[in-house]
Amino acid sequence: MDFDYWRKQPADKAIFPDIEWDKPEQKALAGKLLIIGGNAHGFAAVAQAHKDAVSAGIGECKVALPDSLKKNISSLDCVFVPTNISGGISKDGLPALKAAAAWADTVLYIGDAGRNSETAIVYEQLLQAFPDKQNIVTRDAADLVKSSWPELLQNPKVTLILTLAQLQKLFQSVYYPKTILFSMQLTNLAESLHKFTITYQAALVVFHNNQMVVAQGGEVTSTPWEDAMMIWRGTVAARAATYITHHPGKVLQAITTSLIK
């Protein structure tokens, strides 16, 4: 069955070829990305996202990390901010994060942030301070800001890259009258996302049944996807953030194209 709101992209052929053709060739025009994440016990996703964003063609990329990691980092362009006793970013780091976010075109909250309420407040306040930036939130960073989900969903410049379990909780957070099930068919998921994103403006990306599904403004795309680890490591989010930076007015098309291998 065909649906006019749902476009299916092959794994190796872009359905929005102009996104790749219009990719900035000069580094100075390729945008600025800030990646926020990490805690005292790890920063693997931050480092991987930086590598993937540079590989995808971002112009400039900085990472913001807790200053407890200073001794472990030497090769990245870093903004180090105060660490709280749990190893996450503390509220004292908010001014430095705001300065870094003001510099960037796009802010990627990549995760590895730890389960810390203080860091959650910092993330939420930073998202509130820059509603006009392109903001991409994924992995455990999405869980940290779940109390802000209803507000984030109203912003067309927010992209949430989620697991199906997180999507289930997202629907519940706004009392949406549709249940997301792990057993649901891809057709049912596409229909649910179609209807949900007519009501809510944020872009949503979710992995289900070996497909990456993207939805915004009632439009849905799906792309075959085999390597779930690329999602959990942050590669998918970093590539999406880069393509969104290049094409901020075409978020769904940019994310979908970023999934071509």
- Residues near 69 by beta carbon (within 8 Å), at least 6 away in sequence: 38, 40, 43, 80
Q: What is the pLDDT along the chain (261 residues), one digit of tens a residue?
A: 568 999 999 999 999 999 999 989 898 899 999 999 999 888 889 999 999 999 999 999 999 999 988 887 766 789 999 999 989 999 999 999 999 999 999 999 999 988 889 999 999 999 999 999 999 999 999 999 999 999 999 999 999 999 999 999 999 999 999 999 999 999 999 999 999 999 999 999 999 999 999 999 999 999 999 988 888 889 999 999 999 999 999 999 999 999 997
Tell me what percent of the chain is helix, strand and coil, each rounded to the nearest 5: 45, 20, 35
What pLDDT sits at residue 171? 97
Rounded-to-integer distance, Cα 257 and Cα 51, Å:
19
Rounded-to-integer distance, Cα 142 and Cα 173, Å:
13
Rounded-to-integer distance, Cα 257 and Cα 92, Å:
38
What pLDDT sits at residue 1? 56
Give the distance from CA 161 to its chain's centroid: 5
